[in-house]
Each structure stands twice: as C-alpha cells, then as structure tokens.
A = this chain, B = another copy of it.
C-alpha cells in the first residue's frame, strides 16, 4: 500500500491500537457485542475459526488417548464452598441462578420458584469433574483417566473486550488423573507441546514455552506451564496453559485409588485449557491496517472467486468457468481439510474485493473474460500488498493451491517471528529495563516495550515491585535454555544473584 493511500481500517494500529482491534473485528464480520452485557455473538466467519481450532486440537487430544465428555452447566454452591480456598481466584464474579420459574405479574415476567440452594453457572467445571473422578476412580486399573470437555463458561466481567475478555466464552478444559507423579507431569508437558503445535502450525503464532512464577501460577497447581505470544502492540498474550496439580486437586476432590500394592493413595492430576481468547490473539498477531489476515491452516475459507463481467453476454461463460474452478479447487486438500472456496457474485464494484481483504481470506481470485481467454486467473494474496496481484495459468493455480496456501502460512509465521525478535531485548540493567517499559508520551502512550529477557533472583518482592512500577509481569521462566541463560548475573530489580532470565512484558 502506497504511503498516501488510506488504510481500510480506521484508526490504524499506530493511531489507536485498541480501537483498531475493535474495528478489525467489525470489518471482518467476526463477532459483535450482544444485547446481553459482556456476552458476544460469534458470527459465522469468526465461529469457523473456533471450529477449525477445535478440530485441530481435538484430533491431537484423541491421538493422545483423551476422551471427550460433558458435565453440567451448573455447579452447586456447596462445591465452591468446599474448595473455597481454591476457587478464591475466580469464583467471586459469576452468574448465580436463584430461581427456576418465570411468572407473569402486572404484565411483566418475574422470577419465581426460588431454589433452596443457588446454582452457579460454571466458571470452570473443575469441581464437578473432580466429584465425578472421585467416583470413577477406584483402582490403579482405572488409571489414567484422560478427559476433555468443549463447553461454554461464564465469569462475570465488568470491563469486557470482544474475544479477549467476555463474560461468556467457549473453551476446552482437560482433566487427567494418574497413578504417579511422573506420568502426570509428562502428560501436562505433552499438552503444552500440543498447544505449541496449535499456535505455530495452525495459528502461525510463535510462542515461548515456560513455567509461571509462583505468583502467576494457577491456584492449587504445583507447576503451571504456559505458552506466551507477542501481539503487535508488543504486549504478551497467554495463549494456553497446562497445570501439574500434584495431589492438591485429588486431595480437595477426594480422588483416591487402590495401588497395585493394595494401598489407598491420593491420585496425581493435571488440567489444561485454551479458549476463544485465542481468536483475539490471532487478530492482534496477524491483522494489519487493512483488516484481518487469516492463516490458511485455520481460515474459515481459503479462496474467494470473484467473477467479473461487464456485459450480460459474458455472464454465462464467466460463471461456468468460475463454478468449474471452484469444483476443482474443492477437490484439493490443505492441512487435512478440503480447500474452502467462496464465490462472490455481487455486483458492488471495488467494495467486493475490499470486503474480502478486510475479512482476511488468504487468496482472492478475479476471473474475467480476458483471463478466461488466456486460461488464467488474476490472484491476490492477503499476505502481500493489495495491488500485487498476479496473472497465473488456471491449471497451475489449481495444481499449486496447497503450496500457495503453505507459502502464505509460512510468511505469516515468519513475519510474526521477526516482529517478536525485533522487539525482544536482553536487558541486565535496571534503568534500561525501566526505560524500555516506559512510554515517551504518558498522556497517550505510544506502542513501546516488548519482551525483556532479564535476570531475576526469584524473590516475589522484586516481581511485585516491577509490577507496581511498570504494570509489567513475569510471563514465564522460559524452557529454552538459550533464552533462560545461566543461573548467574544480577537480578534486574534488586541486584542479587539471579537464577536465569525471565520473560518480562506487559500483558493482556
């Protein structure tokens, strides 16, 4: 796009990142706010992303021996009370069902039939799954139990942001039970690897794997593993977590089993999840000032065919050519799915192509009488400028479709990787650290900072001081030794001996 040209999305990322995000969601027709405060309507073009994420992950889960099940939407209050210490973190803001009937009264409907015990709409199914596990598991022969649930959950939010923080969202939560610690730990790590695979191979989002610090760890977990991604405003987004819960959860839920030696023992458990939040991350990682850019591996559709005819006499020829091309493309596969083809025949001029640019479809294909004469099509790639369109022989376009999509996928991943590299710095010095995370314009902070790899002494006090001063948190203690470095150097906060580097960043 030329410098003078106006972007399709206003404001641009540089002008107002947060508002740009909302406008991309709208322009791409991904979702909308609903009449229910804090809840969203996920529109077909956005929901298809979730369907593709679900399909990809579900296949990986099943290959790992995980089975899907479904647990009740409602949680009895006593379940939360029983584990009140544990639910401290999230159970306060939730939807509470107190009545089971509506009655007409003075022309209005009013709640009636008060429940003796209120029910909570699940903020997670952890407690109710734990209750089931306590009944399902009796002997070592019943183990491991590997269960996953795809469902909606509700956490009442006062300040919401579509996909990123909504009162209701969709997610999967996996829960597993094991006879020994090592097996549980290995499972938790394996699930993190699957999330990494989802992020890199499907979402084209590079991630850093690591452990959470004590203060950022999931309540009740012995170890929380996470993948962290950099958004285009250089903030971090936690894109998935996997928890090794030790025997804590089994103790709270009374999950006991008789061991091979006939002894009654507490089981070892894990839990792990990702949510529709990932779609927010996908947008913030890839979209540009012209709208959404869909990685082909999870794109709702791969190609839009845009037939062009000025004369009615051309109509039949062009449409026949278009339909044949669509059929040929749909017979091809990319990443285990048939190539998804949309045909847009609307006669609305240039707005048609721009709509698809904003929706982020990987390939736009114009088909006019002259193209047909040459047996070629005119192809625009969403990862390139909107003017860089190429005439490609139709047969070759069809033949190469999977390779072309793979090339788009690769470009997006590389671009995100380079962006992250450009905004990840190794900082040992406290002043440099503070400078890195302090905007120059305090009234309207510009996009600044990024990931800082800095030595940390492991003292929560240093972590807290940095959080207070800069709203910067420890995203993870990276698994990659090249990032973590040696257990040497001085803490970027207190100067005492550090135990490797942590990833510091502002975060969603």
**Considering the chains assembled together, what is the distance between the CA atoms of A118 and B109 in angstroms?**
10
Shortest beta-carbon distance from A59 to chain B in Å: 11
Fill in one digit per residue for A60-72: 1 if any B CB lies within 8 Å of its CB, else 0: 0000000111111
Contacts of A34 in B (CB 8 A): 71-72, 128, 132
Please state if A109 and B81 are interface contacts (CB–CB under 8 Å).
yes
> A86 in the interface, Cβ–Cβ < 8 Å?
no
Contacts of A15 in B (CB 8 A): none
> A370 in the interface, Cβ–Cβ < 8 Å?
no
Please state if A121 and B97 are interface contacts (CB–CB under 8 Å).
yes
Q: Which of A47, A51, A70 has the most CB of B within 10 A?
A: A70
Q: Which one of B67, B75, B93, B108 lies within 8 Å of A44 (CB-CB)?
A: B67
Give the contacts of A22-55 with B (CB-CB under 8 A).
32, 34-36, 39-44, 47-48, 50-51
Q: How many copies of this chain sit in the oligomeric assembly?
A: 2
Contacts of A41 in B (CB 8 A): 69-72, 132
Shortest beta-carbon distance from A203 to chain B in Å: 19
Q: Which one of B40, B44, B101, B104 lies within 8 Å of A147 (CB-CB)?
A: B44
> A137 in the interface, Cβ–Cβ < 8 Å?
no
**Considering the chains assembled together, what is the distance between the CA atoms of A96 and B110 in angstroms?**
9
> A156 in the interface, Cβ–Cβ < 8 Å?
yes
> A252 in the interface, Cβ–Cβ < 8 Å?
no
Known: A95-B100, A346-B141. A131 touches B35 (CB 8 A): yes
Give the contacts of A82-108 with B (CB-CB under 8 A).
84, 91-104, 108
> A168 in the interface, Cβ–Cβ < 8 Å?
yes
> A111 in the interface, Cβ–Cβ < 8 Å?
yes
Fill in one digit per residue for A122-142: 1 if any B CB lies within 8 Å of its CB, else 0: 000000100110000000010
User: When A and B form their complex, which 10 residue pairs have the shortest distance between CB atoms, in order from nearest?
Assistant: A44-B67, A39-B72, A42-B70, A96-B99, A100-B156, A96-B111, A36-B72, A95-B97, A98-B98, A36-B74
Given contacts A73-B168, A77-B109, A91-B109, 4 further A-B contacts (CB under 8 A): A36-B128, A74-B95, A91-B102, A121-B121
The residues of A with any CB-CB pair to B shorter than 8 Å are 32, 34-36, 39-44, 47-48, 50-51, 67-77, 79-81, 84, 91-104, 108-109, 111, 113, 118-121, 128, 131-132, 141, 147, 151-152, 154, 156, 168, 170, 346
